[in-house]
Structure 1
C-alpha cells in the first residue's frame, strides 16, 4: 500500500501546505500541476487523487490563504479603540515587507475573483471585503457601528487600506504611501 493510500489526509495536509508555500512565491493564476508537483515532491497523479483536479487544489489553496487572512485579521484587529488606531495598526502590518508574498497572492486572487466570478476564484473578493469590514466594525462604538455613517467610515477606511496596499505592492514606495494613509487617518474622526 502506498503512502497516499495509507494516510491520505496527512499527505493531503502536507501537500496543501507545500502548495500554499509554492503559491505564495509563484501565484495561482497560471498554475500548472507538473511544475507544482515537482517543486513540492509529489506527482500530478497524486495531486489529482487527493484534490480531485486542478480546480479542487486551487480551491483548497484559496481556502488555506483565506484561513491565514482571517487569522491575521483576528490578531491584528484585536479591538483597538477607534477606527483610526485600528487602521494604523492594520497598515503597519500590511506595509511590513515580510508579508509581501501573502499580500501579492491576496491581490492576484482578489483581481482574478473579479474577472472570473463564476470560476474557482468566485466569491473571494466579496468574502474578503466582508471579513475586513467586520474587523473594522469591532473598533467602533455600538452606536457608530450600527449607523449608516459608521458603515460609510469603515468602507472608506477599507478603501484607503486596499488602495494603499495595491499602490505599495506596485511601487514599493513605503514612505509616500504611508504618508498618504496617515493623511487620510487624520481626517477620520476618532
Structure 2
C-alpha cells in the first residue's frame, strides 16, 4: 500500500519553488528547489512526477500570480481615467513587484524553457487583451487593446534590453497622452 496523497505538502512545495524561481530564475537542476523547499529531489519527483512536470507547475503557478497581480492593475477604476490606470499599472509592472514576472517570462519567451510551455508566446499576448479591452471601453476605445498591448510589451522589452527607465517611462507617458 502506497502513501496517501498529501496535497497540502505538494502545494507548499510548489509555492516555495515558485517563490524561488521568481526571485532567482528557473533553475537548470533540482538542487536550488531542494534548498528552497528543505526537502529532497526524490520528494520533488514523488510529488510532481518529473523535473519537467515540476517546472511546468512552477511556470503555471507563476503565471497565475502574474495574471492576478497585473489583471488587478489593469482593471478599470470608476474614480480614475483609464490612461491614468495604465500609467499606474506601468509603474508597478516595472517596479520591484513586477520585475520578477518580467524576468521570468522574458526569459521563457527566448529560452529552452519554451519547450515546457510551447504555446506560451501566444497565451502571453492574448491573456492581456480582455482586461485592456474592458478598461479601454471606459473611454470608448476597446478596439485599441491590441495597439496598447503592443506598445506596452515593446516598451517592456526595450526596458529589459536597455535598462533605460527614464526613456521608456517618458515614451509611455507620451503614448498615453494620445489616448
The answer to whether TM tops 0.5 is yes
Structure 1 match to 2:47 = 50
Residue 82 of structure 1: how far off its partner (Å): 6.0
Distance 1:164 1:37 in 2: 36
Structure 2 match to 1:77 = 74
- The structure showing larger relative contact order (alpha-carbon pairs under 8 Å, at least 6 residues apart) is 1
Distance 2:34 2:125 in 1: 32
Structure 1 match to 2:117 = 121
Q: Aligned Cα RMSD in Å? A: 2.6
Residue 137 of structure 1: how far off its partner (Å): 0.5
Structure 2 match to 1:185 = 176
The equivalences for 1:23-102 within 5 A come to 23-28=21-26, 30-80=27-77, 84-102=83-101
Of residues 59-68 and 32-41 in structure 1, the stretch that sits farther from structure 2 once superposed is 32-41
Cα separation, partners in 2 of 1:144 and 1:99, compared to 1, 3 Å: closer
Residue 83 of structure 1: how far off its partner (Å): 5.2
1:143-170: CA deviation from partner (whole Å, max 9, x where unpaired): 743xxxx1xx211211111121122233
Residue 6 of structure 1: how far off its partner (Å): 5.7
Identify unmatched segments of 5+ residues in structure 2: none
Count residues in correspondence: 176
TM (norm. structure 2) is 0.84
Cα separation, partners in 2 of 1:73 and 1:141, compared to 1, 3 Å: same
Asked whether the 8 Å contact 1:15–1:40 carries over to 2, the reply is: yes
Distance 2:23 2:141 in 1: 40
Structure 2 match to 1:161 = 152
1:98-156: CA deviation from partner (whole Å, max 9, x where unpaired): 4322221121123348x84xx222122211211211110001338743xxxx1xx2112
Distance 2:175 2:23 in 1: 32
Match of 1:19 among 17, 20, 27: 17
Where 2:98 maps in the other structure, the secondary structure is: helix
Distance 1:83 1:124 in 2: 28
Residue 39 of structure 1: how far off its partner (Å): 3.3
